[in-house]
Amino acid sequence: MLPEALLSLLWAALAAAQQRTTLPLNAVTPVSPTTNTPAFNLPVSSSLDITITLCPDPGTSPPRFFVNNASTGVTPSSSGGDNVFEIPLLTGFGNWTGLFPQGGSLAVENVGQTAFEIGVSDSGPLHESLAIPPLLGDTTSNQALLFSAPFGTLDTTKPSWPNYTLPSANLTQQPPPSNIGNYTVFIETTSSATDAALRPPACVLRKRQSLGRVANTTVWQRDWAGWRTQWMIEGLTASTNYTAYVIVDNNKVSGPIHFTTKSASFSCPLVTGLSFCPTASYAMPLPPPPPPATFYNGNNFPAAISKTILSGLTNFTTSLQTFACGRDEYSPLVSCDDCQREYRQWLCTALLTRCGEPSPSSPDAFTSPVPSPTQTGIAVNDNGDSDNDDNAPQKVFSALVPMSSGSPQRNQDFPPMSTDYRVLLPCLETCTAVQRACPYFMGFKCPLRRFNAHASYGVGYVDSGKDGVEGGGAVARAQDLYGNVWCNA
Ligand SMILES: *[C@@H]1O[C@H](CO)[C@@H](O)[C@H](O)[C@H]1NC(C)=O
Ligand SMILES: *[C@@H]1O[C@H](CO)[C@@H](O)[C@H](O)[C@H]1NC(C)=O
Ligand SMILES: *[C@@H]1O[C@H](CO)[C@@H](O)[C@H](O)[C@H]1NC(C)=O
Ligand SMILES: *[C@@H]1O[C@H](CO)[C@@H](O)[C@H](O)[C@H]1NC(C)=O
Ligand SMILES: *[C@@H]1O[C@H](CO)[C@@H](O)[C@H](O)[C@H]1NC(C)=O
Ligand SMILES: *[C@@H]1O[C@H](CO)[C@@H](O)[C@H](O)[C@H]1NC(C)=O
Ligand SMILES: *[C@@H]1O[C@H](CO)[C@@H](O)[C@H](O)[C@H]1NC(C)=O
Ligand SMILES: *[C@@H]1O[C@H](CO)[C@@H](O)[C@H](O)[C@H]1NC(C)=O
């Protein structure tokens, strides 16, 4: 027999336990500020991921969350005790993973006026700040081409001797996984007040209105990182700074990234979805696509341009296969498939001309200094005069070359443009990657940095300009998360 006092305590605990909600497994429970139930039971499970998200953004005095993973019905609190843990919050987000063999309980202190969500899951956290940001393809004056972070696992089996088969010139996309999840893009104008590093939780983003209109959503295998959801956003405003997020499965947020729409006079349309050049998703100097299309894809892209690229790739592949790929090795690191992949990437960036505008953080790249009319290429830290003083300007300029209307295009399969435009040159690294990956007998040579490389390539952005130290360039990348694109990679 238990003493009476203990019995009544037990009954009180049981009564309290019965009134409590048990948080559902693998679901997110929103809790509004008016709810006066600060304690919940947790389901029995070998292991649970508990995640907390404050909505809206963290207030001055955020609530505190405590779990007990030994018994249901008790109210874990800041006074601690055995099996009581606090879920620490960092910028409005908290997570805790533990064992719940007898279930458990969760209590909230200092709840105030803050709404929040509790996610309980036995198969990975439901709220998450995803580490990999979305990717900007390119923009026009009123469109943006955006990609989610890559997902899924591609079949990356390498070909082998004696059946060393290289992908055909017109690549085939691998079929995407069936359960790709729910990817939603969210766009807002960049407010200078917003701390770029802070991302609003999904519960806050879901209540706001995303700008623009999603004109097309496709799943695209852009490269070997995996598939990405691709969005064509239309109805944006020219010369405006935007911030984009991707909400994954309702509660996880990837981003932010920032981008700027082009000026109203920008006349190059967007191109994407070319199976033979899957990474080419940017504005090209072409006439407007045939209506009602608002961008080019594999179906309406000019056949004359595709034909040369496919023929070039086929010829290169034929020459490459005169080598006994897979039986003989020309390098301990790379093989014919790497060579073909890098050559494809180089050929695509070289033949699919990219249009650009000065990056938003260096808007005067073209007014000061003015490049001379004979100048054919611009390198990072090249101030436009003929000497090679690499230390003059403080800003990094994109590798842009002005082109006047009616002049022959760099790739003559492109018809002349009826307006002025600027070409964004390929990064020199697209060329050096081919040299590194291909056998010497293919005779593929890149122009020298110190000689004429600047005429056709952006030099010194990714790798250093003088000696080509990998990643030693001025910005160490072709594009950043702020919408700057330095050269075409
Ligand atoms: C959980 O929170 C810790 C810091 O409290 C953090 O390092 C970790 O990445 C978080 N895990 C997830 C899945 O977000
Ligand atoms: C509670 O979780 C902690 C952390 O995972 C674990 O070390 C402890 O054994 C758990 N308690 C019980 C009773 O399972
Ligand atoms: C060679 O490999 C390709 C693709 O990997 C495959 O489709 C083909 O059936 C193989 N041929 C032989 C003879 O094994
Ligand atoms: C490439 O292949 C796709 C199908 O995978 C086809 O729709 C397209 O027309 C082909 N492109 C060219 C230029 O042959
Ligand atoms: C989106 O574009 C793809 C190819 O670019 C096309 O196959 C698909 O039909 C388009 N979807 C819509 C809804 O327009
Ligand atoms: C996908 O996510 C969005 C935003 O979180 C939501 O509005 C939509 O209902 C979800 N769709 C499905 C099918 O779950
Ligand atoms: C590919 O080879 C064929 C036959 O030798 C040739 O006619 C064609 O011009 C070559 N293509 C390119 C892009 O060089
Ligand atoms: C857009 O952002 C850039 C910096 O990235 C800034 O210099 C510029 O003033 C912003 N433009 C507008 C219209 O806010």
DSSP state of 328: B
* 124 touches 49 (CB < 8 A): yes
User: What would the mean pLDDT of 460-478 be, rounded to a whole number?
Assistant: 74
Tell which wins on pLDDT, 433 or 114: 433
Strand order in the sheet with 64-68: 39-42, 104-109, 64-68, 84-87
Could you read off the pLDDT of 226-247 as tens digits, one per residue?
A: 999 999 999 999 999 999 999 9
Quick one: which ligand is closest to 203's CA?
Answer: 6
Q: Is any atom of ligand 5 closer than 6 Å to the C-beta of 488?
A: no
388: pLDDT confidence band, cut at 50, 70 and 90? very low
Q: Is any atom of ligand 2 closer than 6 Å to the C-beta of 83?
A: yes
386: pLDDT confidence band, cut at 50, 70 and 90? very low
Whether 212 shows a pLDDT value over 90: the answer reads yes
* Atom 10 (ligand 1) nearest CA: 95
Torsion angle defined by CA atoms of residues 102, 103, 109 and 111, in that order, rounded to the nearest 10 degrees: -170
* 59 touches 119 (CB < 8 A): no
- Averaged pLDDT score across all residues of the chain: 84
pLDDT for the residue 371: 38
pLDDT for the residue 286: 97
* Gap from CA of 306 to ligand 7 centroid (Å): 13
pLDDT for the residue 192: 58
Whole-number Å distance between alpha carbons of 255 and 149:
9
Whether 437 shows a pLDDT value over 90: the answer reads yes
* Gap from CA of 241 to ligand 8 centroid (Å): 6
Whether 339 shows a pLDDT value over 50: the answer reads yes
pLDDT for the residue 413: 96
Answer positive or negative: Cα dihedral of 71, 74, 75, 81: negative
pLDDT for the residue 475: 72
User: What would the mean pLDDT of 346-350 be, rounded to a whole number?
Assistant: 96
Q: What is the 3-state secondary structure (H, E, C) of 388-418?
A: CCCCCCCCCCCCEEEECCCCCCCCCCCCCCC
> Taking Cα atoms as reference points, which of 406, 408, 407, 403 lies closest to residue 421?
403
Could you read off the pLDDT of 32-50 as tens digits, one per residue?
A: 876 565 789 999 999 999 9
**Which atom number of ligand 3 is nearest to the Cα of residue 159?**
5
pLDDT for the residue 2: 40
pLDDT for the residue 360: 59
Ligand 6 residue neighbourhood (C-beta within 6 Å) = 182, 184, 206, 247, 250
* 362 touches 380 (CB < 8 A): no
**Contacts of 225 by beta carbon, 8 Å cutoff, 6+ apart:** 150
For tokens 């360039």, what's the residue?
473
Q: What is the DSSP string of 59-123?
A: -SS--EEEEESS-SS----TT--TTEEEE-EETTEEEEEEEEBTBEEEEEES-TT-EEEEEEESS
Q: Is any atom of ligand 2 closer than 6 Å to the C-beta of 30?
A: no
Give the SS3 label for residue 174.
coil
What's this model's pTM, rounded to 2 decimal places? Answer: 0.87
Could you read off the pLDDT of 294-324 as tens digits, one per residue?
A: 999 999 999 999 999 999 999 999 999 999 9
Q: Is any atom of ligand 5 closer than 6 Å to the C-beta of 218?
A: yes
User: What would the mean pLDDT of 192-206 be, rounded to a whole number?
Assistant: 73
pLDDT for the residue 365: 43
Q: Is any atom of ligand 7 closer than 6 Å to the C-beta of 319?
A: no
Q: What is the largest CA-CA distance in the chain?
A: 101
pLDDT for the residue 346: 96
Whether 161 shows a pLDDT value over 60: the answer reads yes
Separation of CA 241 from chain center: 17
**Which atom number of ligand 2 is nearest to the Cα of residue 47?**
5
